[in-house]
Amino acid sequence: MKRAALIILDGWGYRTDPANNAVVQGGTPNLDALAARYPSSTLGASGLSVGLPDGQMGNSEVGHLNLGAGRIVYQELTRINLAVESGDIFANEALLDCAAKVKESGGALHLIGLLSDGGVHSHQEHLFKLVEFAKREGVKELFVHPLLDGRDTPPTSGAGFLRRLEVVLAEKGFGRIASVAGRFWGMDRDNRWERVERAFNAITKGEGERVTSPVKSVEEAYRTGETDEFIPPRVVVGEDGLPIGRVEDGDGVIFFNFRADRAREITRAFTEKKFDAFCVAGRPKLSSYLCMTEYDETFDLPVAFPPEKLEKIL
């Protein structure tokens, strides 16, 4: 086997148009000579070519990862996007196991995560497909607990995202929004547990401002100067004034954020055996808690899209 050298020029690109093109304008006689003497080709450095969403600019880290692996390494967002688009998500073993356990217990399934199209921590299309999945699998009841964004999306766009979610739930004829809160409360990452406690108690105990319309309650918050990120937990109640969808014993949870850092704390509150950051006495005994991706390698929890194990790399 002949030996070869892998030489990387960071920030180097190929484009024939000389306008705003330092490479062409600077002249590259040595590279030109090598390309003329030996076989040459080009590789895509952005979008799906390097495992990123279509149209997204590449970067040094992603480029080196793909070169070192000798293949396309799909980022978590792209992996899930492809599974959603192809329908492979419906055959995901971890999701199927979660649904089976919920059905066996006779409980409800709860979808918790950031309602956003920002693509930084989550994507609403993943949530919509999970709604479809739950209906296909025959889960008894489905409740959604959206966390509003306002950082990776405009600060008062949450009401629009909630409206879109309501349309999807109505079209599927399945699922209801059970609580709403800003990400400030449910997605802390700096051990400010008093925030996480507020979100956790809204979801599990029905504690928080009680509302009948999540969209209207958020619009009212805008009128008082609140924005998506900071909206305190609201709990949706029925005609009897009681919460329609608290997490209870036997229920299952899918936390659908794909980025780990802001999903860890609330996941610990739900699942950690010796959790003591705040009182979780009477915490629901879940049939399943499924993480969309691996939030922490020390968590003994099922994962829908675990890290890929790459073999035969450079």
Based on its alpha-carbon atoms, the radius of gyration of the chain, rounded to whole angstroms, reads 23
CA 225 – CA 17 distance, rounded (Å): 49
Q: Which two tokens stand for residue 256?
A: 């659908």
Amino acid at 98: C
| Three-state secondary structure of 263-295 | CHHHHHHHHCCCCCCCCCCCCCCCCEEEEEECC
Q: Which of 41, 46, 60, 217 is catalytic?
A: 60
Active site residue 105: no
Amino acid at 285: K
Residues 129, 89: contact at Cβ < 8 Å?
A: yes
Residues shown for the chain: 314
CA 120 – CA 106 distance, rounded (Å): 34
Q: Which two tokens stand for residue 111?
A: 């979808």
Active site residue ranges = 60
